[in-house]
Amino acid sequence: MTKKASGLVAVARLAGVSTATVSNVLNRPELVAPATRERVVAALDELDYVRSGAAVALRTGTSRLVGLVVPDITNPFYAAIAEGVTAAADDAGYSVALCVNHDDPARERRQFELLAQQRAAGALVVPLSAGSSRLSTLRRVGTHLVLVDRIAERDEGCSVAIDDVLGGRLAVRHLLALRGPRIALVNGPRTIEQCANRRAGARKELRRSGVDPDTMTELTVEEMTIDAGRRAGNALAAAGGVDGVFCTNDQLATGVIRGLADAGVRVPDDAAVVGYGDLALATDGPLPLTTVSQPKLLMGRTAVETLVREIGDQVDGGREHQHSATLFQPSLVVRDSAPAT
Amino acid sequence: MTKKASGLVAVARLAGVSTATVSNVLNRPELVAPATRERVVAALDELDYVRSGAAVALRTGTSRLVGLVVPDITNPFYAAIAEGVTAAADDAGYSVALCVNHDDPARERRQFELLAQQRAAGALVVPLSAGSSRLSTLRRVGTHLVLVDRIAERDEGCSVAIDDVLGGRLAVRHLLALRGPRIALVNGPRTIEQCANRRAGARKELRRSGVDPDTMTELTVEEMTIDAGRRAGNALAAAGGVDGVFCTNDQLATGVIRGLADAGVRVPDDAAVVGYGDLALATDGPLPLTTVSQPKLLMGRTAVETLVREIGDQVDGGREHQHSATLFQPSLVVRDSAPAT
DNA sequence: TTGTATGCGTTATCAC
DNA sequence: GTGATAACGCATACAA
């Protein structure tokens, strides 16, 4: 079929030059005379030359591979991040090693170990639960880290996140304007940072509007699923006294709407519901859902760019690298035109 | 923080043995005496040894990396496959390089090039459009291929797919039993193999039941989206004379239900609709959706296992490898209890 | 059972 | 501008 030869040496021989020259036309073409360069290029594709990433990695100590560590790739939120990451990585000439850990430390350890072995140039990690100690395996081999959807603490590294406090404020501001102060919050475990922040934003906005945050009805669910939301909706309907519900993700919001409907409370007529995330569910679900939209693709893209910049910094001067923490703003997407009272 | 030494030599020195011995305890522990083995192991983690995948790859000519090539990771179908793939790869000790190509040949070429450079052990590709010529870059460097969700032709390699013809039959059988022979098909472009097969199954089942397949109303849409489905639903309602609709994916089905509703045709009361894929949309959408369910995770898992087996075959005897084509069966999930007649 | 020696394909440091 | 040549870290054939 195709030629079987491979390696710089074969190319060098065919072009009548040394391997060093071939290497140069590959990496720093400007250093080699146009004439020879042409001969080499000819030989290169005459032989169907394919660089050995392994050899390069061995020699240079780093590969063009970045790890993407997510809890669950079937979750559309993480899938969207992955989309942005792969796109940006493509542009930068990196491969993306997808590591799905299901929040399982054992799995995660093995994956980190593999990344370390491959001498990955870096890793983008989207942590579910916190715990920065887990990252040590990677650091050990000098892999650079970028935290995604979580603000890095001092010296933890770079991070790219979304301002969840602001998101919470936007949601509650909308509900306040639309329906007044009788607001409920349906939230996940507060040990999840995002949940804590969205709640903080909600309370902050209430306070700003002269409403005592403690008057807000709060329901906490273990799993942020549609089913859990439905139960919460049932409970809210039973208790009554609520005109607006802020749910900290779209699944919960979808469930809450159903749970309210079970009890005859109709959305948006009888109550307003706001979700969080702007997943496909918000448009494709039973009802167009008003929700806080996050720039997921952009976050993924930026994570890669941040990592690439960090790697560059390291290489080029040995100069001190300044960790950066990028924070994007969410925005409110109003989808149901709820008739105000 | 941690020791800075690295490399087999350092470990060997510390343990007072040769590098060959260290290499052996790493790769074939049974060959080395328990006593020395222990010493080596001690040295190994005393030094926080991390193997250089690059060196191994260079030496052995292959790396523990497999490529996963999908058109779009935000599509839940591909995400589910990715889930299965990463799980199985984890178990087998492989990393997964995620390549999202958006059906863009240029992108795909670059990604293949990267995989080839990394000397990936193999690649799992989920092709959107056909065209086996595109795979040549990978073959050139001896990378093994497994086609996913598409049956490989002779000598194309191994494949793992789902029997779409059967899926089409199941869907139509259900509709026939429930509503009789006035059936419509809402399908994507027939150039997509899956679409062609699902249609073929539908027609086959009609024929078996003594219904002329050509009496089936057929609507073809360019993009298999909810919006396109909605328009199809509008059209069907306008034309009338249809009791059951088979849509070749869940998005279309969701849209069709809406489109019918726009015109006052209620599902499941006035008409039955069957989707395909069993995505989250089928349970989380406006209406529980009867749909053809595909074993997506299993397909992903099996793809990895197939690849690993193929690699093993190659290595162990140079024995001829028999390409395999695995075909899984879909099943019908009935979700709406549609009152007959 | 263990040690010695060689080479995998590159890059980079020197001479020329 | 270009060519020798020495690593990079490991696996393996062979010798001991």
Measure the CA–CA gap between A189 and A223, rounded to whole angstroms: 8
List the nucleotides on chain C closer than 7 A to a protein CB: 1-5, 7-13
Q: Do A58 and B58 touch (CB under 8 A)?
A: yes
Which one of A170-174, A287-291, B38-42 scores highest in mean pLDDT? A170-174
Q: Do B64 and A98 touch (CB under 8 A)?
A: no
Q: Which residues of B touch A51 (CB under 8 A)?
A: 117
Domain boundaries, chain A: 8-51, 61-163+297-329, 164-294
B8-51 has CATH 1.25.40 classification: no
Q: Which CATH architecture has domain A164-294?
A: 3-Layer(aba) Sandwich (3.40)
- Residues 6 or more apart from A293 whose CB is under 8 A from it? A277, A278, A330, A331, A332, A333
Which DSSP state fits B340? Answer: P
Contacting residues 30-69/A vs strand D (CB within 7 A)? 31-33, 35-37, 55, 58-59, 61
Q: B28: burial class by Cβ within 10 Å (0-12, 13-18, 19+)? A: exposed
Q: For A131-182, what is each residue's pLDDT tens digit?
A: 555 666 666 666 788 999 999 887 778 999 999 999 999 999 999 999 999 9
> Among A74, A280, A285, whose Cβ lies nearest the Cβ of B80?
A74
- pLDDT given for residue B338 in this prediction: 47
List the single residue in B with minimal CA-CA distance to A258: B286
Q: For B212-241, what is each residue's pLDDT tens digit?
A: 999 999 999 999 999 999 999 999 999 989
**Mean pLDDT computed over every residue of chain B:** 90
Q: Nearest nt to A18, CA vs C1'?
A: D3
Q: What are phi and psi of B89, to 5 degrees?
A: -65, -45
CA A128 from chain centre, in angstroms, equals 11
Which DSSP state fits A88? Answer: H
Q: For B87-112, what is each residue's pLDDT tens digit?
A: 999 999 999 999 999 988 888 888 98
A61-163+297-329 has CATH 3.50.30.10 classification: no
Identify how many contiguous H helices and E strands chain B contains and give both numbers: 13, 12
The residues with which B247 forms a beta bridge, in sequence order, are B186
Which DSSP state fits A132? Answer: G
Fold match, B8-51 / B164-294: no
Are B122 and B146 spatial neighbours (Cβ–Cβ below 8 Å)?
yes
What average pLDDT does range A84-110 have in this prediction? 93
Residue A278 C-alpha, separation from nearest chain B C-alpha, in angstroms: 14
Q: Do B118 and A79 touch (CB under 8 A)?
A: no
